[in-house]
Each structure stands twice: as structure tokens, then as C-alpha cells.
Structure 1
């Protein structure tokens, strides 16, 4: 008897054919890796084909693989990972696409396929520096407009560069170099003698 996940795997292979770079069935989930050149058409086919019919994009996130596997990763550094949902077929699929260039990671935008991609792609741009070609409003969404860098990149400094605070004398927000004072916290443990005994 064929399981639901095996049926999905058969359907995805039939719809995408040789455009699949890698297909992984692990931990009860199906993950497909595709080329950035085929990405838009693959996503359209996954949405429009009746055997897959993934009508919803439920998540899209950026990933920096530079330190993956304790630095043993040898593939492309940046990827966008999309999670698709088919309400009609009651199944989910993960699609991963790697940016071809690590210095300037560019991936086609899904905004014209699923409107939900808008803010997800802005978040991946803001936090990882992944550019989405075709996105008509690609700007920061979580960090400040003057923020320098992309804080979820593995090479971003842990303490950042600048901090902002409100200055009551100047009556405005000011930027200053990061001031982090190292300190050691020793937790206090307070126990009552009869703790947990009734």
C-alpha cells in the first residue's frame, strides 16, 4: 500500500521531471531542491498542476549554509526555502533553491505567483541579504533603514556595530558604537525545605 507521502513524491517527480536536482524524503517530509534558473516555472507548475495543486505559500525563509555541518558544507552559501501547502490534496512540500553567487545572492521573486511571498522575501533580504529579482518593494522590514549589514549571516559580528537609544536631552534617537559590558551572572537557587511535598 502506498503512503500519502509516497504518492506526493510520485506526483512531484511526474510534474517536475528532470528539473529536480535533489529530492529527499526524511522525517515524514518531502524536500525538493531546484535550480534558480528553473525556480519560477517549477513553482508555477507546482501551483497549477492538478496532481500537486499547491495553492498556498505558507512560509519562505533565507538560510546561510556557510557554517553548516561545522563548516564542512561545500555547496552554495545562500538559499531560499519555501513551504507550500495544498489544501485540496492535504499535503505540504518544501522547496529549496540556492543562489548561484555567494557574493551577491540573487533568487527570482515569487510575488507574482503567491502574494504571500512579499513580506517573507523582504525578511530574507533584510536578515540575510538575499536579493529577490522581480520583487517590486524590496526594502528592510525588521531592522532600521540606516542599519548596516544583515544580522542573520553567519559572519555578522555577534555584538553588531552600533546601538541606538533615545537621548532625552537631544529629544531624538541617537546612534553610538556598541557598548557591551561583559559580566558574569551567578544564578541564585532558593528552595524551601518542603518544596513539592504535600
Structure 2
């Protein structure tokens, strides 16, 4: 068993359940996973349709799973590859504290500040009624924005640190959007892993 995680932050978001573990992985572990995943994952740049036109996504992505369940979002349907040993290790670590059994992992590689992920909620039907999403950040820190879907005054920003874990569950996806905005700063690469349950 791993040492208990002491630093746990419950975010003050209405109509949501979001918990942040800034030191889920040590810096050495996080950097090691980053290098392994960057070189061993089958990264692709998918195209998304916006107002009838196809545009390359502003990041690289990959889908892995322990079943053959596809995942669809923004008009895309991704076919999974089998989990790698590194992904299995991370999945097991997350499951120790989340009490969830994840089946899929959508990975994103943000190459620089121009790479981003626009406002969205992870509310696709295949994720179920109240999905749990476990998001691990490796590499460059990035700002993560939340905004409430109906209460426009409710907004929140969080710095996602190298080696951190963010757990979103309950009614979070029903009530909140989130994004990783672009930045003009010169920054390094970031890998984000979002573990999900697609039965």
C-alpha cells in the first residue's frame, strides 16, 4: 500500500463534488510517467467539426481501455487501444483513493500554450448519469477553469500541478462546464489523463 495522501482540497463549488490532490504523485514519479507516456502512447491529432467545417483539434489525443468500448465526443468517435503497463499502474493508484473501477482513459497532450480544450462538460450518455472523472496532470502546470451552467456568477480557477489528481463526481457534469484555455506564455508540454467508466 502507498502512504496515505495527506493534502486533499475539496473545491467550494455549488451543485458539484470536486476534490483536488496536489501531490498525488511525487515530482520524480510524475516526470517518469510523463516521459514514458510521451514516447509510448499512440498520439493523434483528430479533426472536429465546427459549424460544418473540419478543424484540427488544438492538442493530441489517444484513447485506451480494458474493454473495447468506443468513446464519442464533439462529433468524434475514438477506438480504444489496450491499457499500457504505465496506465494500469496509474489506474490502480487512483482506484485506491476513489473506490471506482475505471475502464477507459482519454489522454491529451498539450504541446504549448496554443493547445487548449474549450468549454465543455463530460456528460456523454455512455459515461452514465453521474460520472466520476479522474484527471491526472503531468508536466507543465495549466490553469483549469470552471463555470456554472445556469448560475453565471459562479466561476472558479484552479492551477493543475505536475503530479496532481482532480476527481469530479456526483452532479458536477450536469451543472458545470470546464476548460483549459490558451495562454500566450512560453510554456512546456503537459499530459493529461482522464480516467472514466464506460461499461
- Normalising by structure 1, we get a TM-score of 0.25
More strand by share: 2
Higher relative contact order (CA 8 A, sep 6+): 2
Which structure has the larger Rg?
1
Q: TM-score with structure 2 length normalisation?
A: 0.25
